[in-house]
């Protein structure tokens, strides 16, 4: 029996550094998802046109929204994935408990979310460059591009990163709930579909609550509080269990 009292912060940081190196496939999947979204977005997400008196106009709408949506999906899926048995067994390399395991997972997901927010924003600007070099002058002349200051990309990175970490927190909660019983794999989708049947759907209310917020400080408060709440709730399902029985 060891009498060394190792601080939990030290254990968490060791697990966190290990996961940054070991879970490289998470970032590989991020690149794949964003490249796919970039490919789909390069053709435009909306096309319209019209003409009269011999003059025809054709309008393609380009946006990086699809890249951001794919990044949200990436965060949600990977947060569920790291709650599975194969990933949980990686923590057996350390003297650990549920608390340190959860904290290191949260740190990893937060870091991955920042990277996802950064790359998603940069991919949006890359899309503009691709459209510029692949479109002829007449086509590009019709594109509307607002002037961008240094603060705009920074706000975009922070905003996307907060959304991603919130999706990660939700996925992490779902993953931990499923660990209680496989039946929740059926119950949770049923509850989601049931929420869509309300008038108006609950998802629209949630969308309006977050996306419709125009005050940056209130937006930060909403996303941070929601993320902390979801992560805190993820402790509840398995708080009485140790890492290995």
pLDDT tens-digit readout, 155-177: 889 999 999 999 999 999 998 88
What pLDDT is recorded for position 194?
A: 73
Q: Which of 194, 118, 201, 202 is nearest to 161 (CA)?
A: 118
- Higher-confidence residue of 114 and 137: namely 114
Does residue 50 carry a pLDDT above 50? yes
The predicted-structure confidence for 185-197, as pLDDT tens digits, reads as follows 888 777 777 776 7
* Mean pLDDT of all residues belonging to the chain: 79
What pLDDT is recorded for position 124?
A: 86
What pLDDT is recorded for position 138?
A: 45
Average pLDDT estimate for 29-52: 77
Does residue 20 carry a pLDDT above 80? yes
Instruction: Extract long-range pairs of 121-124: CB within 8 Å, 24+ residues apart.
Output: 121/64, 121/153, 121/156, 121/157, 121/160, 123/34, 123/37, 123/38, 123/64, 123/67, 124/63, 124/64, 124/67, 124/68, 124/156
Q: pLDDT band at residue 134, thresholds of 50, 70 and 90?
A: confident
What pLDDT is recorded for position 142?
A: 45
């Amino acid at each position: 029996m060891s009498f060394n009292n190792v601080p939990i912060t030290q254990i968490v940081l060791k697990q966190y550094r290990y996961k940054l190196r070991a879970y490289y496939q998470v970032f590989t999947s991020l690149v794949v998802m964003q490249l796919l979204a970039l490919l789909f977005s390069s053709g435009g997400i909306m096309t319209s046109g019209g003409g009269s008196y011999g003059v025809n106009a054709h309008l393609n709408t380009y946006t990086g929204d699809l890249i951001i949506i794919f990044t949200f999906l990436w965060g949600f899926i990977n947060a569920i994935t790291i709650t599975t048995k194969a990933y949980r067994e990686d923590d057996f390399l350390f003297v650990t408990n549920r608390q340190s395991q959860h904290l290191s997972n949260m740190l990893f997901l937060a870091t991955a979310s920042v990277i996802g927010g950064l790359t998603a924003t940069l991919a949006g600007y890359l899309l503009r460059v691709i459209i510029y070099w692949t479109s002829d002058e007449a086509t590009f002349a019709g594109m509307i591009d607002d002037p961008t200051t240094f603060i705009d990309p920074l706000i975009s990175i922070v905003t996307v990163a907060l959304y991603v970490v919130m999706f990660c927190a939700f996925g992490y909660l779902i993953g931990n709930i499923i660990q209680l019983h496989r039946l929740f794999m059926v119950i949770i989708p049923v509850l989601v579909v049931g929420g869509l049947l309300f008038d108006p759907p609950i998802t629209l209310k949630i969308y309006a609550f977050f996306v419709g917020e125009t005050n940056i400080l209130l937006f930060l408060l909403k996303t941070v509080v929601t993320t902390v709440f979801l992560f805190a709730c993820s402790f509840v399902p398995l708080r009485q269990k140790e890492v290995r029985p």
